[in-house]
Every structure is written in C-alpha cells, then in structure tokens.
Amino acid sequence: MSRIYEALQKAESERKLERREPELRIPEQSAPTAMNAAAAVAEPEETLVSARYSGDLTIDAPYSQGPPHFTGPGSLDLSIIPHRPWALSLSQLPALLERGPAVEQFRSLRSRIFELRDISPLKTILVSSGLPQEGKSFISTNLALSLARHKNSKVLLIDGDMRRYTLHQILGCESNPGLADYLAGKASITEVMQRPEPLQSPTPGATPILPNLTFIAGGNGGDKAADLSGSPRFGELIRQTTPYFDWIIVDSSPVLPVSDAVNLARSCDGVLLVARGGVTKFSVAQRAQSELKASNILGFVLNAVLEMPQVGSYYGYDSTKQ
Ligand SMILES: Nc1ncnc2c1ncn2[C@@H]1O[C@H](COP(=O)(O)OP(=O)(O)OP(=O)(O)O)[C@@H](O)[C@H]1O
Ligand SMILES: [Mg+2]
C-alpha cells in the first residue's frame, strides 16, 4: 500500500506545484451530466486511469436473457423479492453507458477486481473512505452496475451507510425497509431486498436492463447506526446471501468520523478505499487505511480526477480516442 500513498502524495504535490494553490479543489461541475471519474485499485502505477466523462446518455440494454434464475444451496427463497419501480438517476450512473471514458474506467476497475479475485477469494467488497463526499456511493453504485453488466453476474448492492443513505436516490427507489430494519430485527433478509421492475431503455424497443441487480437500501439507522453496524446480523446477512450472488458490494459511511464501516468490514472479503482527486489529503487517506488495518484493503480508487497525474509509470486514458 505504501506505493499507493506515495503515488497519491506525489500527485497531490505535483498538482499543488502546477496550480500554485495551497489546497486543491475540484471545480464545480458545469452540468448535471458532466462527470469526471478515475478508477484505480491496488498498484496504481499500472492501473490509474483518468478521463473526462460528458456526453449523451444512451443505454443499449445488453440483456435479453430475461430475469436471472436464482438458485443456491442456502435457505433463502429469493423468488419472493418484490420488483419495485425504479427511476434511475442516469446522470450519476455512467457505468450504464455503452461507451466512453467513464464506462472504460469502471471496466478497468472491474478488471483489477477480477485479477484480485484470481489471487484470493473475493466476493464481498466494502467501499469506504476517510471523510464524507469523496465518492463512496458513486463508486459503489457504478461498480455494482458494471459488475452486473458483465456476463449477467448476479450482484447484491447494499447501502451500508445507515446515517446518510443515498443509494436509493441514485436508483430512484424506496429506502425502507432497509438494512437498518433488518439489523434491528424488524425485517427479514428477503423483506429488505428489492429488484427493479423491468426497466426500459429510453431507446424505443429496447430490452429491459438490470434484471440481475438486487438492492438493500439503508433504512433509517439514525443514532443507532453504530450499534446496528456492530450487530452479528450483518455477518449473518452476508453468510446467507453469499451463495446466491457473484458479487456483494457494500457502500458505507466515512471511516474517520464514525466506526460503522470498520464494523461492517469485518464481514467483508475486502475493502476498497476512495480518494477524491484534488480533495483527499494524503494524511486522510493514510488514516483511513490505518482505521481499516484489520481488514483486507484491496486498494484505492482515485475518483473525480480532472487531470492525469504525471507520476512514475502511470498511464492515462485518452478520452478523445474511443
Ligand atoms: N467522479 C465524479 N464525478 C462527478 N461527480 C461525482 C463523482 N464522484 C462523486 N460525485 C458527486 O459528488 C457527490 C458526493 O459523492 P458521493 O455521495 O458518492 O460521496 P460519498 O463519499 O458517498 O459521501 P457521503 O460520505 O456523504 O456518503 C455526489 O453529488 C456525487 O454525485
Ligand atoms: Mg455516500
């Protein structure tokens, strides 16, 4: 991990030098669909990509196989999970695009995760960061969608931030009942799960999208979130759902102000940390890693990078070449 920090630190100091600013901030986005994302996980010298995303949102549905068939050795009857209407916030979901730099970045992140899975078992990934607003929810949701689009993988996306749960807003669905209700013993696993009703692409005649994504919203943990996140019921949830899914992605709260993510991480195979380009300080990234030292940290995702840092052997993704 030291190479990752070296890279982050070096990139930060180079940007400071370039712009001659004591602190770097990302400029406000000029339009709702203007988005910059960069993804790197582990060994960023080889994997860091940076590109701008802006463009028309067109979704070609790649799925024509119909709804996934959930079977498994466990005791859950996933056929009873309700299908609910979702209204995706497409501007926050570049992973749904067919092409373009942003979708390439999430594919790149996905590939790195596949490589890590080849080395050791990896199915449940918690996404966290040091502080609020670094892009945890953005990365978790788009990573889950990117994984779900790969060979119709079955993906469970869990909003593990029971204080500032936002994934239901990105997906445009209900937030209750959710994880907090399950952890408090007020609902069963299948009662807090939901799937989208067949979603139609804006393109006329398109086939449904996302039939293989299952979602657990945050529910409202409020001031009980810390206690709830420490409940053994979360481990039970992961254990029971694991046989039915190829991937389980868990969004979480920032690790420095509250301990929830550290608690949830104990039941996950790995942790992906997010650092926001031009915002996350090296010391914050370092402390975030330290808080999660008992977990298997997979690497950092460098999010919202405007310019490609010229560090070592990094390579950049040229958004003009598609
Ligand atoms: N790569 C990106 N490009 C453009 N906007 C982004 C990017 N990443 C995140 N954002 C936006 O920044 C804001 C914060 O992102 P997000 O909610 O994912 O952060 P978070 O770390 O989950 O925050 P919190 O700790 O409050 O839950 C959101 O409005 C999101 O749409
Ligand atoms: Mg969030």
Q: Which atom of ligand 1 is nearest to the CA of 37?
A: 1
Percent of the chain that is helix, strand, coil (3-state, to 5): 35, 15, 50
- Please identify which residue in the block is written with the tokens 């982050």: 8
312 alpha carbon to ligand 1 midpoint, in Å? 28
- The H or E element containing residue 19 is helix 2-19
Q: Which atom of ligand 1 is nearest to the CA of 36?
A: 3
- Strand 213-216 versus strand 155-159 pairing type: parallel
Residue 147 CA to residue 246 CA, distance in Å, equals 9
DSSP string for 29-96: PSSTT-EEE----SSHHHH---EEE-----------S-S-----SSS--GGGPPEE-----GGG-GGG
Closest C-alpha to 143, from 279, 40, 275: 40
pLDDT values of the chain reduced to their tens digit, one per residue, 322 residues: 444 445 455 545 544 443 332 222 222 332 222 233 444 443 332 222 222 232 223 233 333 333 334 444 558 898 899 999 899 998 999 998 888 888 899 999 999 999 999 999 999 999 999 999 999 999 999 999 999 988 889 999 999 999 999 999 999 999 999 999 999 999 999 999 999 987 655 555 444 467 899 999 999 888 899 999 999 999 999 999 999 999 999 999 999 999 999 999 999 999 999 999 999 999 999 999 999 999 999 999 999 987 655 544 333 333 333 3
- Is residue 92 in contact with ligand 1, taking CB distance under 6 Å? yes
- Per-residue pLDDT reduced to its tens digit, 184-222: 999 999 999 999 987 655 555 444 467 899 999 999 888
DSSP reduced 3-state for 287: helix
Residue 20 DSSP class: T
Q: pTM for the full model?
A: 0.79
Give the number of whichever ligand sits closest to the CA of residue 258. Answer: 1
- Is residue 280 in contact with ligand 1, taking CB distance under 6 Å? no
